[in-house]
Structure 1
Amino acid sequence: MKSTATARSLDGLVAAGALAPERAAALGRVAERYAIAVTPHLLDRLDGGDPAGPLGRQYLPSEQELEIRPEELADPIGDDAHSPVKGIVHRYPDRVLLKALHACPVYCRFCFRREMVGPGGDALDPAELAAALDYIRAREEVWEVILTGGDPLMLAPRRLAGIVAGLDAVPHVGVVRLHSRVPVADPGRIDDAVVAALKASDTAVWLAVHCNHPDELTAEARSALARIADAGIPLVSQTVLLRGVNDDAAVLEALFRALVRARVKPYYLHHGDLAPGTAHFRTDPARGRELVRSLRGRVSGLCQPTYVLDIPGGHGKAPIGPDYLEGDAEAGYVVEDYRGNRHAYPPKPPGGA
């Protein structure tokens, strides 16, 4: 039987057949602390209710979420320390985050903003949104505005169009980028009104879709992405490296190939953030580097994201992928190819010392 409503509680997950009643009985404390939402689109695809499957692990609550490590932080990437105005995070000189709402179509169990998002979470009222836009207008160094939150595609199309138009009217803003789970979590929401709301006259609008496993790229999700791409809106992807979901070279290869085929350029592969109760998802950075190295030569450059770690405390993202070059200009360099063979650079001349 097809699901018709988003499950927003343990009882809702049980009723949809996504969670066994005996498991739900043990998850009350998790549900009290962290929001639950799983769309009908995903409920019908949740690995038959398998909490260990690649979709179940991402979207179904687990007792492991109550295991809080000393190093975990309520604000793991330091949003609050760089928020001069409500809804704005200004971490880098030339770009800001604009968080218009805190609601999402689904609540991922590994979310780095899990302490902030959910039902009843703060959304910007008209005066607060106006103040956030005024902050952007007053700073000519701001070239890119990233709509995040919460998921900006959860906004009503008219309100979303108003925000895009407001940013489009700022002469020094060259790019508006939206980060969204909607195309893979609730693809039916991507209708003509939403696509029209993303159009700007003078500003480039990009959409970054969050997708972690090839099973998320259903026919419906691919159609939603095609509607966006056909409207001339460039697409990139963000993927979180998750233990038990995609920490496997073959899975990452399949995911990135499928994204590129859907006209989505893999952009970031994120190392898991230190969000509370997410240790069971985090890999060791050495494992991430090994996986990224395994993709070199296995898939084309179109399929290669940058492996990054968001430094706790708000210090920004740092690429942490493998290195292929050693040495210096004086002694010469050694570069490693995708097979693991090492070569002098520049090459030694024939017969040279």
Structure 2
Amino acid sequence: MHEKFKKLETIQAKKLPEWKRILEKSVVNAKDLPKVCQSDADDIKKVSELYPMCINPYYFSLIKAKDDPIYKQCVPSIQEVQDNLPEDPLSEETTSPVPCIVHRYPDRVLFTISNKCAMYCRFCTRKRKVGTERRIITKDEIIQGVLYIASHPEVRDVILSGGDPLMLEDGELEDILKKLRQIRHLEIIRIGTRIPCVLPQRVTKELCDILKKYHPVYINTHFNHPREITEESRRACNMLADAGIPLGNQSVLLKGVNDSPSKMKKLVQKLLSMRVKPYYIYMADMVRGTNHFRTKLETGLKIIKAIRGWTSGMAVPHFVIDAPNGGGKIPILPGYLVKCEDGKVFLKNYQDNDYVYTEPN
């Protein structure tokens, strides 16, 4: 009888799509980590009790050494419990009129529809609730979110976020998309997801067929390091682009991960080659448990200066700070504009050469 049950489990496992089979093998406990991590097992256990760990085998396979840029993004560090930054620096909770909705800007809202991810990033802005049993998003809350958008005609753009929206089942995601598309004043649906980077196998023909039914749909994904761009991630991005979905990328500037001009330049060039437009580089938010990832502002300015003019303009992202206390995204630029005086605009180009532009009378 025991053998029959084992065979039945094997048959059922084979019926699961590849991405679910990969997720089932995710590392969620310190004891399941490879030997290379075992020296830190006690620290990892302590941290993951507060901030959950989930590393699927695909993403783990990208690690080449302990403390490399991939390792730092996914394996808990004791430094996560050694700072006292705010849990919600962007004041999402105070700009949330109903559960799951953040309404900070005049014509758009953030709609969190999942609290799960295929890999829990150690630098996450929503560490306070992502992946925890304390904050499960219910169907009733999803309905409240849809009704809020429907009752606010000024909202023309919704960003589906989480967690990761693409962690939902196809049917669950389509149900939300269908409800949103019935709202006449809602023009744009955006999806913020790390799936093409951390679990590209989730991007299937079935998923793409669903998404393209609800155009205009945009996807902003999240690659932070050139090594995250693999054959699998290229395939996923190509499938989404072929489904008519414009793709953007939002990177976070992270100490020890991508805080050098050469790494970031290589990343944006690779992104553009697979039809993903570099959209934002964020300064890391002032989130509790992430202080060890934060860099000086000058680091980001040097990166932008090393990219602009030295590679295609299409590869140059906006460098922004998401201002504390709900101030929204503020663009930061190197000093290309020196001064304006007597109808003349004094400028510096990407090579630091001086130029003068004369304004009309």
Q: TM-score, normalised by structure 1?
A: 0.92
SS at match of 2:192: strand
Name the CA distance, whole Å, in 2 between partners of 1:332 and 1:24.
62
Residue number among 275, 290, 303 corresponding to 1:263 in the alignment: 275
Question: 1:245 matched to which residue of 2?
Answer: 257
**Distance in 1, Cα, partners of 2:322 & 2:43:** 33
Residue of structure 1 in register with 2:222 after alignment: 210
Aligned-pair CA distance for 1:347: 8.6
- Offset at residue 125 of structure 1 (A): 2.3
231, 237, 254: which one aligns with 2:266: 254
Query: 1:100 maps to which residue?
Result: 113
Q: Deviations over 1:249-280 (max 9, x none)?
A: 11001100000001000001000001112111
Corresponding residue number in structure 2 for 1:282: 294
Amino acid corresponding to residue 59 of structure 1 in structure 2: C
**Structure 2 counterpart of 1:155:** 168
Bigger mean CA deviation after superposition, 19-28 or 73-82? 19-28
Amino acid in structure 1 at the alignment position of 2:73: Q
Paired AA for residue 23 in structure 1: D
Distance in 2 (alpha carbons) for counterparts of 1:47 and 1:243: 18
1:209-247: per-residue Cα shift (whole Å, max 9, x none)? Answer: 111001001111110111111111110000000111101
1:199 positional shift: 2.3
Name the aligned partner's letter for residue 174 of structure 1: E
Q: Could you tell me which residue of structure 2 aligns to residue 351 of structure 1?
A: none
Residue in 2 aligned with 1:57? 72
RMSD (Å) for aligned C-alpha atoms: 1.8
One-letter amino acid of the structure 2 residue matched with residue 339 of structure 1:
Q
Match of 1:42 among 59, 63, 81: 59
- Measure, in 2, the Cα distance between the counterparts of 1:300 and 1:185: 26
Distance, in Å, in 2 between the alignment partners of 1:164 and 1:347 is: 48
Do the aligned residues in 1 keep the contact of 2:345 with 2:359 (CA within 8 Å)?
A: no
After the TM superposition, which residues 305-316 of structure 1 pair with which residues of structure 2 at under 5 Å, given as runs?
305-316=317-328
Q: Report the Cα distance in structure 1 between the residues aligned to 2:112 and 2:210, rounded to whole angstroms.
A: 17
d(CA) in 2 for partners of 1:133, 1:289: 39
Could you tell me which residue of structure 2 aligns to residue 12 of structure 1? Answer: 32
Question: In the alignment, is the contact (CA less than 8 A) between 2:265 and 2:307 conserved in 1?
Answer: yes
Residue 125 in structure 1 maps to residue 116 in structure 2: no
Query: Any conservation in 1 of the 2:29–2:45 contact (CA below 8 Å)?
Result: no
Q: CA deviation at 1:29?
A: 1.8
How many pairs were matched up? 339
8 Å CA contact 2:115, 2:137 repeated in 1? no
Partner of 1:196: 209
Specify the code of the residue in structure 2 equivalent to 1:6: S
Shift of 1:74: 0.3
List alignment gaps of at least 5 residues for structure 1.
Answer: 349-353
Q: Percent identity of the aligned residues? A: 36
What is the CA-CA distance between 1:6 and the residue it aligns to? 0.8
**How much does 1:323 deviate?**
2.9
SS, match of residue 248 in structure 2: strand
What's 2:127 paired with? Answer: 114
Cα offset for 1:197?
2.5
State the one-letter code of the partner of 1:117.
Answer: V
State the secondary structure of the residue aligned to 1:135.
helix
The one-letter code of the counterpart of 1:319 is: P
Matched, 1:341 2:358: no
State the secondary structure of the residue aligned to 1:200.
helix
- Are the counterparts in 2 of residues 102 and 150 from structure 1 also a CA contact under 8 Å? yes
The answer to whether the 8 Å contact 1:95/1:144 transfers is yes
2:218 is paired with a residue whose SS is strand
State the one-letter code of the partner of 1:74. E
* Counterpart in the other structure of 2:311: 299
